[in-house]
Structure 1
Amino acid sequence: MNAKFSLDGISDVPKNREAQEIPPLRNYLCLTMFTCFCPAWPINIVALVFSVLAQKSYYEEDYDGSKQLGRKALHLGIVSFVIGLVIITVYTTVHFTTHVV
């Protein structure tokens, strides 16, 4: 048996291995805050809310829920970034190709 004991006789090694394997927090907060500057407002706000909820679930030790909410925040952040780029591209194309007489 490979147990480590301290001077008090209490084991320093946790009872189960799952206590050591806490997954990293992935709430993609920076991405969702960056996408708030894109002109796809409703999707940006929903992505930001999912990101904050993922962080809250992580701190409440609901790691599976945090992972799912973080994944939703990532997907919505990417969608809002792409829609924002499309809107900006269409706006600048229309603005610089129209002739005012």
Structure 2
Amino acid sequence: MAETPRTAETEPPGSPPGGSPGGAKPPSYVLLAALACFCPVWPINIVAFVYALMPRHSRQQGDVEGARRLGRVAKLLAGVALLGGALLLAASCAINFGVFQ
């Protein structure tokens, strides 16, 4: 008998339609965005956290590529928030401790 191709009806339950290459789900970077929330760059880190939560919904809808794209945006925004927070803290310490007098 000839083997039938896999369709959405024959895929295991819980797997997204079309599947993802290698079966691995795309990362969402929630922990990195949560860590960025402790930095003093509040508008950017809140947006990073929101973007980090969005890939889960995209994966559930079957949009694996969209989930990857949202994860990359969340990683970029969290990195910007962490770097900006570190720079602000360094500048604040330098000013308060008399480096620039």
Shorter-normalised TM-score: what interval? 0.7 to 0.9
**Equivalent position of 1:86 in the other structure:** 87
Q: Quick one: distance in 2 between partners of 1:20 and 1:28?
A: 18
Q: Hey, what's the Cα distance between the residues in 2 that align with 1:93 and 1:59? A: 47
Residues 19/64 of structure 1: CA separation in 2 closer, same or farther (3 Å cut): closer
Tell me the amino acid that sits aligned with residue 83 of structure 2.
Answer: V
Percent of aligned pairs with the same residue?
A: 31
- Cα-to-partner distance string for 1:22-78 (whole Å, 9 max, x where unaligned): 342311000000000000000000001111111211122210110110000000000
Q: TM-score, length-normalised on structure 1? A: 0.76
Q: What is the RMSD of the two structures over their aligned residues, measured on CA atoms?
A: 2.6
Task: Name the larger-Rg structure.
Answer: 1
The one-letter amino acid of 1:81's match is L
Number of corresponding residues: 90
Compared with structure 1, are the counterparts of its residues 97 and 57 closer, same or farther at alpha carbon in structure 2 (3 Å cutoff)? same
Ranges in structure 1 where 5+ consecutive residues have no aligned partner? 4-10
Distance 1:19 1:49, change over 3 A: closer
